[in-house]
Structure 1
Amino acid sequence: MERKAVIIGATSGIGRALAEELHSRGYALGLTGRRVERLEELKNSLGKNVKIQFMDVTKTRDAIDQLEMLIRELKHMDIIVLNAGVSNFRGSTMWKTEKRVIDVNIRGFTALANYSFDYFEKKGNGHIVGISSVAGHFGYGLSAAYNASKAFVSTYLQGYRQRANHSKADIAVTDIIPGFVESEMTDGKPGMFWVAGKDKAARQIANAIESRKNRAYITKRWWLVGWVLKLVPNWVLDRI
């Protein structure tokens, strides 16, 4: 039976690369994003079995309606990947910058994760995939809201995994935890290491999805950084 996946935030970076990887594995796809011209270009490059839908996740009610519409077009859905996210939004003030990160990475994510769980519970099965980050393991003064938002994503997904364990439905919940991956977010930023190519990252993410893993570091070596960060005392992290 043909597998079907929606990717929220598919216009660039990890989202686009994952769309290409899953399509190559035979998935029918629903792809969303704010930049419609990029969605149309991606659809044309992939060919058949691709539906696209404009979505601004900060407009939460509209985003839920648009996701429902996309699922109806595809008849049903097996996997929903919550990938939409921003880091250093260029606002005119600190508050505008951090509010944008919160609106996209927390409010938008939460609204769509909640809808996805309810949809899969009624359907009887499904798979929620969220994209967090190694950055969620610690606070950082230059991107406090971003790091905090990714910690929220991981903790929220853990809570929903617990909910799934108590549900009659067969629902998998996967937390994808990338380190540095080629994207518009990382272009030109200093101090990066172990930067993964988008295609390699997408392959590992797709493998983790198909294995229904609870969590997966991307690339795999980042589990070591995650482990070390959990051991570092707060007084050390506070001096970064």
Structure 2
Amino acid sequence: MSARAALITGGTSGIGKATAEVLHSRGYQVAVTGQRPESVTRAREELPEGVLVLQADAGSLVDTDEVVSEVRERFGTLTTLFLNAGVSRPVTLDACDEATFDEVFTVNTKGQFFTLVKTLPLLSDGASIIVTVGIGATRGLTGNSLTAGSRGALLTMIPTLALELAPRRIRINAVSPGYTDTPMLRATPGMGSDQIAAMLAATAMKNPFGRLGRPEDIAETVAFLASDGAAYVTGQEIVVSGGAGLAV
């Protein structure tokens, strides 16, 4: 396919931003979305010239309609959709409330699902869809039930979606990062900077590779799934974790 174009939700920082940089360097037209004004402003300053940066709430279907309209006007069609936007709200069962539940599932599940629904008419035959899930969806972590459930819901949809999209040769796959050093991780609610630094250091020591993931690690995997090199790969989950979670 020529004239490659990608939309990345949650693309103004961390994994999404790194992916935007990688795809742009490989000749893609790229659009990214982000919710926080400061993140959007920084992305407009730091991302390569030509990357379209849009402010949008990933949980708002009205905002999604506006993003789709803008992308249609700028690019016409999409060859890659990276559903990466998400929130993490660590909370144990006894402390969870309805508002937190609704927020997490609205952004992580409903928002990403309907972004796919609304962008489907823009996706060219043979396009690639990549969904960020995370290893927490299939591995236990205290306080992670909401985030894991909201991401895991998408993971369970992927085999069925792969079959539905196969007649158009549109591929859909999941990428599941392990602990990755991103601004979201460094802004973990309820933890000070010293606590976060200690947590990251301890996590890195436990990893078989002795380090945390980097946004670029995930971006390269997404770029592969978007490429013709993965033209026969669909309905799969690729874990990018440096071996985290393999030990018994």
Same fold (TM over 0.5): yes
Aligned to 1:175, what secondary structure does the other structure show?
A: strand
Alpha-carbon offset, residue 64 of structure 1: 2.7
Aligned to 2:170: 171
Aligned to 2:76: 75
Aligned to 2:78, what secondary structure does the other structure show?
A: coil
Please list, as runs of the form range in 1=range in 2, the aligned pairs for 1:22-171 lying within 5 A after superposition. 22-88=23-89, 94-120=97-123, 123-165=124-166, 167=167, 169-171=168-170
> Runs ≥4 in structure 1, deviation > 4 angstroms?
none
Over the aligned positions, Cα root-mean-square deviation in angstroms equals: 2.5
Change (3 A) 1:221 1:206: farther
Could you give the per-residue CA deviations for residues 14-72 of structure 1, whole angstroms, max 9, x where no partner exists?
A: 11111111112221111111124433432343333321211102111331332232232
In structure 2, how many angstroms separate the alpha carbons of the residues matched to 1:143 and 1:94? 14
In structure 1, how many angstroms separate the alpha carbons of the residues matched to 2:90 and 2:148? 14
Aligned to 1:183: 182
Structure scoring higher RCO (CA < 8 A, sep ≥ 6) equals: 2
Conserved? CA contact 2:11–2:84, under 8 Å:
yes
Alpha-carbon offset, residue 113 of structure 1: 1.8
Conserved? CA contact 1:39–1:52, under 8 Å:
yes
In structure 2, how many angstroms separate the alpha carbons of the residues matched to 1:219 and 1:23? 24
Aligned to 1:218: 240
The count of corresponding residues between Structure 1 and Structure 2 is 221
With the length of structure 2 as denominator, give the TM-score of the two structures.
Answer: 0.78
Q: Which amino acid aligns with 1:198?
A: P
Q: 1:199 aligns with which of 216, 222, 228?
A: 216
Alpha-carbon offset, residue 204 of structure 1: 2.8
Conserved? CA contact 1:201–1:219, under 8 Å:
no
Conserved? CA contact 2:19–2:223, under 8 Å:
yes
Change (3 A) 1:38 1:186: closer
Aligned to 1:142, what secondary structure does the other structure show?
A: coil
Q: Which amino acid aligns with 1:196?
A: G
Alpha-carbon offset, residue 114 of structure 1: 1.9
Could you give the per-residue CA deviations for residues 208-240 of structure 1, whole angstroms, max 9, x where no partner exists?
A: 332334332114635x63xx7xxx8xxxxxxxx
Work out the percentage of aligned pairs sharing the same amino acid. Answer: 22
Q: Which amino acid aligns with 1:114?
A: V
Conserved? CA contact 1:63–1:112, under 8 Å:
yes
In structure 2, how many angstroms separate the alpha carbons of the residues matched to 1:32 and 1:89? 24
Aligned to 1:235: none
Alpha-carbon offset, residue 89 of structure 1: 6.9
In structure 1, how many angstroms separate the alpha carbons of the residues matched to 2:241 and 2:140? 21
Conserved? CA contact 2:13–2:43, under 8 Å:
no
Q: Which amino acid aligns with 1:96?
A: A
